Every structure is written in structure tokens, then in C-alpha cells.
Structure 1
């Protein structure tokens, strides 16, 4: 899996976890952020759709979490990849 894919996957997983913690359906979350396309959240959670920063902030607000909580997996996924890269470079 590419580094970008791993980072997007971690955001998707964080959104799923936060939404479930709130007891909210995908449709409810979509409505709260003003998305008339009921499949938008499903696409974001599956990685088919990449939310822009403004939309990510809307999602975080709707889920009553800090946007940093949704992004925290990025640095972990990135660190794992960088550690693997430096090992493969012989460093």
C-alpha cells in the first residue's frame, strides 16, 4: 500500500470510530455537514472520496472531536513508512 493510501486509510478509520462513538449513522453525519449526497460519508470512510480541509473540519465539528484526532494516524503511518524506508536504504 502506498504511503498516501495508508494515511488516507487512517483518516477513514478515525472518522468511522468517531462516528460510531457518537452513535451516528453515515446519513446523519452527511446531513449534519450539509451533504445532500447520502453516499458521501460512505465514500470518505471507504477511501473513495478525499475530504478537503474545510469538509474535514465540518466532519470533526459534527462528531464533536478535534480535527487533530482525525489526523493523528497520519503521523503514525508516515513514521512506519519512513522507518521502513531508512532501513531499506541501509541507514
Structure 2
């Protein structure tokens, strides 16, 4: 599916989804060619998905998420600009941290928010 115009907070959803696919692929240490082989498509197709030039079909999105060993929801939430989705992504990421480390992350987050809000007020 060719993307014409699909802005989400100034960024196209295809670019966000493509970035999420690329990030997960790289985290697994896979090349585009290897992912393409596993999906039974050519490497250019994977490249077009990752650059946001085309969106995968719903069926292909399920195949991508299964191949990348991530839920489709995680892929989609990872590209969302909604605050609640981003908060859910952060919460999921913090699950593996020890309680003291989670407190540290929350404190750093609060400091960053305070700084950014003060900067915007100027």
C-alpha cells in the first residue's frame, strides 16, 4: 500500500511503524536481507516498509511481528504519538527493572518534564 499523506503529529505513521520494525530487526542483529528471507519477500520490500514508503498489509504486519518475536500491538504502540500509548510503552520497558531503578527512572523523567515545561514557559 503506497502512502500518500498520513501525518501523525507531523510525522507519517509509515515512518514511525517502519522505524519500529527497523529498531526491532537491528536489536535482533538481523539484516534487511535476512528479515526479507524469513518473510519470503525481497529486501527492497523490507527497505520500503522501514523507510515508511509503503505500509504492510494487515496480514503482513502480523507476519512481521511474529517473525520479529514481538506482538503487533507492541509494534503499533511503539509508533504511536498518543501520550497514553507512550506511557504504556515506558511502563512495559520498566517492568524488568528493580524497584530502586524504577524510582530512579521516574525521578529522572520528572526532572526532564519539569525542565521542558519551564523551557516552554519562557
Tell me if both proteins adopt one fold, taking TM over 0.5 as the criterion.
yes
- Please name the residue that 2:15 is paired with: 9
CA–CA distance in structure 1, aligned partners of residues 27 and 78 of structure 2: 17
- Please name the residue that 1:54 is paired with: 59
Larger Rg computed on CA atoms: 2
1:39 aligns with 2:53: no
1:20 CA displacement: 0.6
Gaps of at least 5 residues in structure 2 are 1-5, 84-122
TM-score, normalization by structure 1: 0.73
Count the aligned residue pairs.
77
Higher relative contact order (CA 8 A, sep 6+): 1
Assess if the C-alpha contact under 8 Å between 2:16 and 2:52 holds in 1: no
RMSD: 2.0
Gaps of at least 5 residues in structure 1 are 81-91
Assess if the C-alpha contact under 8 Å between 2:15 and 2:53 holds in 1: no
